[in-house]
Amino acid sequence: MSLGSVPLKYKISIDRDQCMKCMRCVDNCSYGVYRIEDDKILIDSRKCTACHRCISMCPRDAINLQEKPVDYRSHPLWTAEAREDVINQARSGKIILAGMGNARDYPVIFDRLVLDACQVTNPSIDPLREPMELRTYIGKKPAKLEFTKNNGDIDLTTKLAPNLKLDTPIMIGHMSYGAISLNAQLSLAKAVAKTGTFMGTGEGGMHEAIYPYQDHTIVQIASGRFGVDIDYLERGAAIEIKVGQGAKPGIGGHLPGEKVCADVSCTRMIPLGSDAISPAPHHDIYSIEDLAQLVRSLKEATNWEKPVFVKIAAVHNVAAIAAGIARSDADAVVVDGFKGGTGAAPKVFRDNVGIPIEAAIAAVDEKLNDQGIRNEVSLIASGGIRNSADITKSIALGADAVYIGTASLIALGCRVCGNCYRGLCPWGIATQKPELVNRIDPEIGAEHVANLIKAWTLEISELMGAAGLNSIESLRGNRERLRGYMLDQGLLDVLKIESVGA
């Protein structure tokens, strides 16, 4: 018995009067939608992923893409997606994989938060005329500073913990070489060096092409420990232990063997073509005490000179876990919300497990303050941050800085088609195929990503100026400058903010 085929997701058509047969669509589509037969371009719409590469490259705007050209009978419960998942799993018997972030239509809390602005009684600040301080330090802060007088000079005697100094509160999160291409990673590395900030290497070592930018990298250690040795630890400006990821809390990672080319295998220190499977837990971490041991071992190995971060997925008891991390000698806790992106995750995890980053930031900041340990760690938020307003709201909720991921890939061309796990990314990002990787020029890619960071940094200063604040320190955890719009009382209580009009 055949289950038949599911309807087309996308339908591609070409305006043949406009088409000049330049063949760019044929050359650019890595999914094989277009082919030539008898001098005619034939189209197989079933292979289309809506990556928009062909549309972007067509010089005549001749290509038309239509979403859902045929649909099922509408039904509020048995949506097209629910029906197709059942059909596909009845056919394959397999877990469904998906790329990018949570695709459910949950309300976005950021869009229901509004920022304050000064009017009449409290003057706003013009960032074009007055200095604005967006410099951000990530790491432990001393509870108090002690000084001694020395022949008329004043010396600081408090020993300061190592901190990362950022010119903007925006960093780029961890996307490993293997998950993304070297040219994509190199573009990000050049961009963070240009803008005075940092990027994560992801799990999987550091390629030597990134060495010139190592002072702007945070090296990651995940449960597979791929690519980790003392040289790797010493190269990074900071070290991050990844315990969990917002897109797939509670499970490990899987880089398919097809993406493990010779270069990736050397960088990850694994055999060529082998699957890189990171286990769900770290097999040496079963308690905060175990975590503290690993944190201290990493500090010991690097002379206590580098801050150590711990990254967790935002889950129900995120605040209590973060408080434990703050007591483990870690210097920063990274919390990744359930809208965080990924190259590949089981769809059921991506869309159903975890909590939104907005609630997690507020809960963690509140818990650390309540326990008097807020200065012990910085709080870095990630997972679904789309623009400068999301960043400003994250900081007002209590974050020190943010990681962006998907937004930086969109700046490199990504169209969020969600097919990263197939290794055929036509934009040269989530692929290791040389002919596709070469589509990214790292100099141009770096310029685009740096432009995005600069533009968002400017917008953050404008938003702060409008609220009468001239330093990021004054914005941090300043929930008085936020109001909730169309949020229920339960969520307002969690976010510790008032409703609009209050």
| Interface contacts to ligand SF4, rule CB under 6 A | 14, 19-25, 41, 51, 58-60, 62-63, 99-100, 409, 414-420, 425, 427, 429-430
Confirm if 387 and 456 have CB atoms less than 8 A apart.
yes
Which tokens is 29 given? 């589509």
Beta-strand relationship, 34-37 and 40-43: antiparallel
- Least Cα distance to 21 among 40, 48, 43, 45 occurs for 40
Residue number, 24 or 268, with CB nearest to ligand SF4:
24
Q: How far is the CB of 343 from ligand SF4 (least distance, A)?
A: 7
Is 425 among the annotated ligand-binding positions? no
Closer residue to ligand SF4, CB minimum distance, 329 or 336: 336
Q: Are strands 199-200 and 238-242 parallel, antiparallel or unpaired?
A: unpaired
Taking the complex as a whole, the smallest distance from the CB of residue 225 to ligand SF4 amounts, in Å, to 26
Nearest to 190 by CA among 412, 407, 446: 446
> Distance between CA atoms of 421 and 256, rounded to whole angstroms?
8
Smallest distance, ligand SF4 to C-beta of residue 426, A: 7
Interatomic CA distance for residues 274 and 203, integer angstroms: 16
Residue 256 or 465 having the CB closest to ligand SF4: 256
> What's the min distance (Å) between Cβ of 253 and ligand SF4?
16
- Chain centroid to Cα 208, Å, comes to 23
Closest by alpha carbon to 336, among 237, 248, 453, 218?
Answer: 248
Q: Kindly state the smallest distance separating residue 387's Cβ from ligand SF4, in Å.
A: 18
Contact of 433 with 420, CB cutoff 8 Å: no
Q: Which is nearer to ligand SF4, 201 or 419 (CB)?
A: 419
Q: Please, which residue, 9 or 415, has the CB nearer to ligand SF4? A: 415
Q: In angstroms, what is the minimal distance from the CB of 54 to ligand SF4?
A: 6
Nearer Cβ to ligand SF4, position 8 or 41?
41
| 3-state class (DSSP) for residue 127 | coil
Render 202-214 in DSSP notation, one character per residue.
-SS---GGGGGGG
Please tell me whether 414 is known to bind a ligand. no
**Is 51 annotated in some ligand binding site?**
yes
* Closest distance of CB 187 from ligand SF4, Å: 13
Q: In the block, which residue shows the tokens 């175990």? A: 290
Pairing of strands 164-166, 136-138: antiparallel
- Answer yes or no: is 266 a known binding residue: no
Q: How far apart are CA 43 and CA 97, in angstroms?
A: 26
| Cβ 471 vs Cβ 485: under 8 Å | no
48 marked ligand binding residue: yes
The nearer residue to ligand SF4, 199 or 475, going by C-beta atoms, is: 199
Q: Cβ 6 to ligand SF4, closest distance in Å?
A: 20
User: How many CB atoms neighbour CB 483 within 10 A?
Assistant: 19
Q: What gap in Å lies between CA 138 and CA 134, rounded to an integer?
A: 13
Helix or strand or coil: residue 125?
A: coil
Which C-beta is closer to ligand SF4: that of 42 or that of 117?
42
Residue 54 marked in a binding site: yes
Annotated binding site: 19, 22, 25, 29, 48, 51, 54, 58
Annotated binding site for [4Fe-4S] cluster: 19, 22, 25, 29, 48, 51, 54, 58
